[in-house]
Chains A and B, each alone.
Chain A
Amino acid sequence: MLNVRLRAYKRPHRGAVVGGFWVIFALAVLVGCGPNMQRQPRYQPYDASQFFPDGTSSRPLEADTVSRENLHTDTLRYTGKINGKLADTFPLPVTRDLLTRGHERYGIYCAPCHGPLGDGNGVIVQRGFSQPPSFHTDTLRNAPAGLFFDVITNGYGLMYPYAARVQPDDRWAIAAYIRALQLSQHATLHDVPPDQQPKLQEAQP
Chain B
Amino acid sequence: MMSDEQQSLPSHVQIDEQPLQRQQLFHPRANTVAKVSIIGGLLAVALAFFLWGVYTRSPYYTGATVTVDQPVPFSHKHHVGELGIDCRMCHTSVEQSASAGMPATQTCMTCHSQIWANSPVLAPVHESFRSGVPIAWNRVYELPGYVYFNHSIHVQKGIGCVSCHGQIDEMPLTAKAVPLTMQWCLNCHRAPEKYIRPRDEVFNTRWVAQDQLTQGRKLVDDYHIVAGGRLTNCSICHR
Q: Please determine whether chains A and B interact with each other in the same assembly.
A: yes
> Helix, strand, loop or mixed for chain A's interface?
loop
Instruction: Determine whether the beta carbon of B106 is less than 8 Å from that of A38.
Output: no
Which stretch of A13-21, A41-49, A146-154, A171-179 is in the interface?
A41-49
B144: Cβ under 8 A from any A Cβ:
yes
Question: How far does the alpha carbon of A40 sit from the alpha carbon of B98 in the complex, in Å?
Answer: 18
Instruction: Determine whether the beta carbon of B115 is less than 8 Å from that of A129.
Output: yes
Number of interface residues of A (CB under 8 A): 29
Contacts of A40 in B (CB 8 A): 145-146
Contacts of B133 in A (CB 8 A): 54-55
> Helix, strand, loop or mixed for chain B's interface?
loop
Contacts of A113 in B (CB 8 A): 111
Contacts of A128 in B (CB 8 A): 114-115
Instruction: Determine whether the beta carbon of B83 is less than 8 Å from that of A45.
Output: no
For A126, the closest partner residue in chain B by CB is B83
Q: What is the distance, in angstroms, from A108's C-beta to the closest C-beta of chain B? A: 4
Contacts of A180 in B (CB 8 A): none
Question: How far does the alpha carbon of A130 sit from the alpha carbon of B109 in the complex, in Å?
Answer: 14
A7: Cβ under 8 A from any B Cβ:
no
A59: Cβ under 8 A from any B Cβ:
no
> Which residues of chain B from 91 to 113 have any CB-CB distance to chain A below 8 Å in the complex?
92, 98-99, 102, 104, 106-107, 109-111, 113
Q: What is the distance, in angstroms, from B197's C-beta to the closest C-beta of chain A? A: 16
A112: Cβ under 8 A from any B Cβ:
yes
| A158 in contact with B114 given A40-B146, A42-B145 (CB within 8 Å) | yes
Instruction: Determine whether the beta carbon of B86 is less than 8 Å from that of A127.
Output: no
Instruction: Determine whether the beta carbon of B86 is less than 8 Å from that of A108.
Output: yes
Question: How far does the alpha carbon of A108 sit from the alpha carbon of B137 in the complex, in Å?
Answer: 23
A156: Cβ under 8 A from any B Cβ:
no
| A46 in contact with B99 given A54-B133, A108-B89, A112-B85 (CB within 8 Å) | yes
Interface string of A29-55 (1 = CB under 8 A from B): 000000001111010111010000011
Question: How far does the alpha carbon of A42 sit from the alpha carbon of B148 in the complex, in Å?
Answer: 13
A109: Cβ under 8 A from any B Cβ:
yes
Instruction: Determine whether the beta carbon of B99 is less than 8 Å from that of A45.
Output: yes
Instruction: Determine whether the beta carbon of B114 is less than 8 Å from that of A56.
Output: no
Instruction: Determine whether the beta carbon of A124 is less than 8 Å from that of B111.
Output: yes
Interface centre among B85, B86, B110, B115 (most CB of A within 10 A): B110
Instruction: Determine whether the beta carbon of B134 is less than 8 Å from that of A38.
Output: no
Question: How far does the alpha carbon of A130 sit from the alpha carbon of B113 in the complex, in Å?
Answer: 11
Instruction: Determine whether the beta carbon of B145 is less than 8 Å from that of A160.
Output: no
Contacts of B89 in A (CB 8 A): 108-109, 112, 165
Instruction: Determine whether the beta carbon of A112 is less than 8 Å from that of B106.
Output: no
> Which residues of chain B from 58 to 111 have any CB-CB distance to chain A below 8 Å in the complex?
83-86, 88-89, 92, 98-99, 102, 104, 106-107, 109-111
Contacts of B88 in A (CB 8 A): 108
Instruction: Determine whether the beta carbon of A112 is less than 8 Å from that of B83.
Output: yes
Instruction: Determine whether the beta carbon of A48 is less than 8 Å from that of B144.
Output: no
Selected from A37, A55, A109, the residue in CB contact (under 8 A) with B145 is A37
Instruction: Determine whether the beta carbon of B92 is less than 8 Å from that of A165.
Output: yes
A82: Cβ under 8 A from any B Cβ:
no
B182: Cβ under 8 A from any A Cβ:
no
Instruction: Determine whether the beta carbon of A38 is less than 8 Å from that of B115.
Output: no
Question: How far does the alpha carbon of A46 sit from the alpha carbon of B101 in the complex, in Å?
Answer: 9
Q: List 11 A-B contacts (CB under 8 A).
A: A37-B144, A42-B145, A45-B99, A46-B137, A108-B86, A112-B89, A127-B83, A129-B115, A164-B92, A164-B104, A165-B107
Closest 9 CB pairs of A and B: A40-B145, A45-B99, A38-B144, A108-B86, A160-B110, A165-B92, A108-B88, A129-B114, A123-B83
Given A37-B146, A129-B114, A160-B106, 9 other A-B contacts at CB below 8 A? A38-B145, A44-B145, A46-B137, A46-B139, A54-B133, A112-B85, A124-B111, A164-B92, A165-B92
